[in-house]
Amino acid sequence: MRNPEITPVEHPLAGIRREIDAIDDQLLALLNRRAACAQQVAEIKTAAGEVECFHRPEREAEVLRRMAERNPGPLGRDVVVRFFRELMSECLALEKPLAVAFLGPEGTFTQQAAFKHFGHAIAASPLPSIDEIFRSVEGGACQYGVVPVENSTEGVITHTLDSFMRSGLLITGEVSLRIHHNLMGQCEDLAGIREVFSHQQSLAQCRGWLDRQLPGVRRTAVSSNAEAARLAAETPGCAAIAGEVAAELYGLGILARNIEDEPDNTTRFLVIGRNPVNRTGQDKTSLLLTTRNDPGALYGVLEPFARHGISMSKIESRPSRRGAWDYVFFVDVEGHRDDPTLAGALAELERKTTLLKILGSYPKAVA
C-alpha cells in the first residue's frame, strides 16, 4: 500500500522533457503540414503542364537565405541551412525525386557536394566521367549533374571547363566544399604501406605531407578517391587518400586525418541542368568568351564590367583549340543576366567579342 502523505519527487528532467514532447508534437504536425503544401504545389505545377521538373533553385535559395537571416539561435546558421535543405529535399521528393548524376563511384567528394546542394532525398547516379555526366543531363536521363570545377590548392579542373565549350547545358548552381583528406587502409600504421592510391588532384593536395611522412612510397593516380579506397580495401599493403565517407563505405581504418597541405583546401563544384534559373537578387553569372587575337582585346572586353560597377570573381583562360595561342576565357561576374546593369554590360560585350556564351545565371551558394 502506498502512503498517501508522501508525494513522489519528480525527476529533475521530467518537466523539460514534457515540454520537449509537446514541441515535438507541434513540429511533427508542422512538418507534415509543410509536406502537404509541397504536394499541393506539385498538383498546381502539374495542372500548369510543368511536369518535367518540379525543382525551383531560386525558390530554394530564397527559403534558405530567409531562414538563415531570421535564425535567432542557439542553433547555428549552418545547422539551420542544412535542416531546411533536407526538409525541402524531402518535400520535393514527395512531389517527384530529382535525378542527379555525380562523378562516382559512391563516396566521392562530388557525391558529398550533390547531397550538400540537393539534400539526401534524391535519386543520385554515380557516373564514371565528367563527359558521361554532361551526356546524361543532355539526354534527359538525369535532371541535374554535379561536377568539380576548381580547387583552392590545385586550380581549375580543365576537363569541366572544356566540356562547356561544346555543351548547351546551363550552370544552375554552385557548391563549395571544405575538403579534408585522410590516409586510410587495412594496415595498422604507416610502416606497412608500400603504395598510395588517390585521384591526381588529391595526391597533389597532400604532396608535402606525403613527402614528409611516406618518402619513397609509390603514389599511383586513379580515376577517383573512392576508387582509390576500393583498391586499398582489396590490395594488402596499399593505402588510399580519400574522404571519411569512403573509409566507412569500403571498411578501411583511418591512419592519418586532415593531411591536406593547405588548411583552407576547398573545392568548388558546379550544378548543370537544362533550364535557366530565375533571379534571386544574390546571383552569379558565368560566361565563356573569345576575342580577336589583338593587343588590348581582353582589356576592351572587360572594361564594360568595370564601367558598370560589376565585380568579377574569376577569370580563367583555356586554349581554344582553333589554333596556337588562341584562347577562350571563362569569366564569373556578380549578378543575374536579367539584372538591368548586367544585361547592359553583356549587350556591350556582345559587340566586342568573337563569341559570347552565357553559361548560366544562378543563386550564390547559401552555406
Ligand X SMILES: O=C(O)C(=O)C[C@]1(C(=O)O)C=C[C@@H](O)C=C1
**Residues designated catalytic:** 267, 269
Nearer to ligand X, 92 or 241 (CB): 92
Q: Does 67 bind ligand X (CB under 6 A)?
A: no
CA distance linking residue 330 with residue 358, whole number of Å: 10
Q: Does 80 bind ligand X (CB under 6 A)?
A: no
CA distance linking residue 187 with residue 257, whole number of Å: 15
Q: Does 94 bind ligand X (CB under 6 A)?
A: no
Q: Does 60 bind ligand X (CB under 6 A)?
A: yes
Q: Does 63 bind ligand X (CB under 6 A)?
A: yes
CA distance linking residue 353 with residue 337, whole number of Å: 17
CA distance linking residue 356 with residue 358, whole number of Å: 7
Q: Does 96 bind ligand X (CB under 6 A)?
A: no
**Cβ 301 vs Cβ 327: under 8 Å:** no
Nearer to ligand X, 274 or 318 (CB): 274
Cell numbers for 177: 566544399
Nearest to 360 by CA among 270, 281, 267: 270
Determine how many CB atoms are found less than 10 A away from the CB of residue 258: 12
Q: Does 367 bind ligand X (CB under 6 A)?
A: no
CA distance linking residue 62 with residue 66, whole number of Å: 6
Query: For ligand X, which stretch binds (CB under 6 A), given 55-63, 64-72, 141-149, 150-158?
Result: 55-63
Query: For ligand X, which stretch binds (CB under 6 A), given 57-65, 73-81, 117-125, 132-140?
Result: 57-65
Q: Does 54 bind ligand X (CB under 6 A)?
A: yes
Interface with ligand X (CB under 6 A), residue from 7, 32, 92, 199: 92
CA distance linking residue 80 with residue 69, whole number of Å: 10
Query: For ligand X, which stretch binds (CB under 6 A), given 12-20, 54-62, 166-174, 340-348?
Result: 54-62
Interface with ligand X (CB under 6 A), residue from 80, 91, 270, 349: 91
Cell numbers for 312: 568579377
Nearest to 326 by CA among 300, 297, 359: 297
Nearest residue to the partner ligand X, using Cβ:
91
For cell 588548411, the residue is 263
Beta strand 155-156 pairing with 195-198: unpaired
Q: Does 270 bind ligand X (CB under 6 A)?
A: no
Q: Does 59 bind ligand X (CB under 6 A)?
A: yes
Q: Does 56 bind ligand X (CB under 6 A)?
A: yes
Chain residues in the site for ligand X (CB under 6 A): 38, 41, 54-56, 59-60, 63, 88, 91-92, 95
